Chain A
Amino acid sequence: MVSPLADTSIGTGYDLSNSVFSPDGRNFQVEYAVKAVENGGTAVGIRCKDGVVLALEKLVTSRLLKAGANKRISTIDRNIGVVSSGLLPDGRHFVSRARDEAASWRSMYKAPIPSSALANRMGSYVQAYTLYSSVRPFGVTAIVAGWDSEAELPVDGQVGAGPKVGSGGKKEGQKHGGPFLYMIEPSGLYWGYYGAATGKGRQIAKSELEKLNLADGELSLEEGVKEAARIIYVAHDDNKDKEFELEMTWISSLSGPTKGRHEEVPKELREEAEKLAKKSLDDDEDEEEEKMEE
């Protein structure tokens, strides 16, 4: 995409307002929002066989910030998490709205919101901010991860267990639910992904994600955690940003470690993943040096 700033369209006025197209059919405000995202720390999501992982390169902006505090990956409902890259306050507002959507779905349907429905609603919400001159688009790209329960839904506080056969009864062996991953951009565009990346290091991260053959559905959640950590480390640019913290959350199946809930990756596992990530980086550097020597 050609930057509108470098374009001849500068000064034509089509970049001043939302809700006004340029003659060649572009909404420059949205494109500027994308720019804001491109400056954010890298965020990655991986949809694994038995769960989803979210990882974030949290750039340390000040030494005065307490290490490990100020978490950036948020819980939306018990089974859904969101990580975003771009303007932090915009991300906060996105999360707040997503929580409201999840809560209102529950009060309406007495069941957790499916990941797809949440992505759809948030997509629509973000898109609405591209339509009006009184607002600006979201300066974030958000990655939504969810595990839709494969279990029979226990309706909250239901009276009785319901009919055992026939209409309204249970079908044996019926499977639904599973891991889901969506990425929502400032335009409101959203797709479901096997692996998603956004922020500064998205290009490197995406190419790393492609190597994982996620579409085969072979990658386990634990491997996913390690890959996510490695990708954040690979995508990190030492020259530009010195320090960062790795933040990771995951959602497993009901039988897995988080029992279908969105939780922080346990400290031990995260540290092991980081150790492996650093090791693989060192190995790569060694290889390159060897090649240079040859």
Chain B
Amino acid sequence: MNHLPQAWGRPRDDVYGAYDHSHFQTSGPIQHTQSPIVTGTSVVAAKFKDGVVIAADNLASYGSLARFTDVKRLRKFNDQVVVGFGGDVSDMQYLDRLLNSLDIRENYSSSETALNAKNLHTYLAKVMYKRRSDFNPLWNHLLIAGLDGEDKPFLASADLLGTTFTSPTLATGFGAHLAQPILRRTLPDDASVEDVDQETAVKLVKEAMKVLFYRDARSMDRYSIAVITKTGVELHEDEKLENQSWQFAEQIRGYGTQVN
């Protein structure tokens, strides 16, 4: 029994190390996010002739710990825009609230046309660029999927530095390495978008999700997928990759120390 009241209810120094009181210090320079904490992995998306498909799994990781397994990383903004979030989850939640208040202000008057995906991408890119310029970045990589002002498919990205680009297919994080090459096989350029229908695009994106599940350690087989077309947004938040199994791994011979 320790007789110092300050010690009661506290982690033992000899076990957990000394507590760093400097965290309570209020003076000193303002500290901003130095690194993401709870994170979501890839977001993948592909255009097709009538719209866009976008998908992200439902996992939020805390380092290598699979911390939350039912997180919605696709956010429907309105009937023509979905935003996919990769990166820090708390920054995602902040952006979600920001989009909510934007939507409310947009709907004060009903006559004006709704914000489309292009508008929203411009807005979000400026938010991201402003925050990086303030040295206070929102640690996310966003994909904005939907329709532009002419009801044509729109897909663009914005990251924590405020960098923006658009492409017929996009993938963030690990997906940029693993999914993007697969997606580009079917959609190499803008012209090819016209030749791809919804079914093909959905199949393609699901295939990309499968590859990511197998090869990205911070991923899982529960995911959300959304299809945005002129008729609106079709969002499913609890999809499961079918028939996935690591059974085959046991049969593999010849890797590493296992030689026969």
Question: Touch between A and B in complex, CB under 8 Å?
Answer: yes
A interface residues with partner B (beta carbon < 8 Å): 71, 74-75, 77-78, 99, 102-103, 106-107, 110, 156-161, 261, 263-264
A161 to B108, CA, bound (A): 30
- Known: A99-B108, A263-B110, A264-B110. Contact between A157 and B92, CB under 8 A? yes
- Known: A157-B75, A157-B97. Contact between A103 and B60, CB under 8 A? no
Contact between A160 and B110, CB atoms less than 8 A apart:
no
Q: Does more than half of chain B's interface fall in helix, strand or loop, or is it mixed?
A: mixed
Contact between A107 and B104, CB atoms less than 8 A apart:
no
Is B31 an interface residue, CB under 8 A from the partner? no
A99 to B105, CA, bound (A): 9
Give the interface centre of B60, B96, B108, B109 by most chain A CB atoms within 10 Å: B108
Contact between A160 and B93, CB atoms less than 8 A apart:
no
* Interfacial chain B residues near A157, Cβ < 8 Å: 72, 75, 92-93, 95-97
- Known: A156-B97, A157-B97. Contact between A75 and B68, CB under 8 A? no
A107 to B68, CA, bound (A): 24
> Would you give 25 A-B contacts (Cβ < 8 Å), ordered by A?
A75-B110, A77-B104, A78-B104, A99-B108, A102-B104, A103-B101, A103-B104, A106-B100, A106-B101, A107-B101, A110-B97, A156-B93, A156-B96, A156-B97, A156-B100, A157-B72, A157-B75, A157-B92, A157-B93, A157-B96, A157-B97, A158-B93, A159-B68, A160-B69, A161-B70
* Interfacial chain B residues near A78, Cβ < 8 Å: 103-104, 107
Contact between B101 and A160, CB atoms less than 8 A apart:
no
Is B117 an interface residue, CB under 8 A from the partner? no
A75 to B110, CA, bound (A): 9
* Interfacial chain A residues near B115, Cβ < 8 Å: none
Nearest chain B CB to A70 CB, angstrom units:
11
A158 to B70, CA, bound (A): 10
Looking across the interface, which residue of chain B has its beta carbon closest to that of A249? B110
Is B71 an interface residue, CB under 8 A from the partner? yes
Nearest chain B CB to A151 CB, angstrom units:
16
Nearest chain A CB to B117 CB, angstrom units:
19
Looking across the interface, which residue of chain A has its beta carbon closest to that of B107? A75
* Interfacial chain A residues near B71, Cβ < 8 Å: 159-160
* Interfacial chain A residues near B109, Cβ < 8 Å: 71, 75
Looking across the interface, which residue of chain B has its beta carbon closest to that of A99? B108
A103 to B106, CA, bound (A): 13
A110 to B107, CA, bound (A): 19
* Interfacial chain A residues near B205, Cβ < 8 Å: none
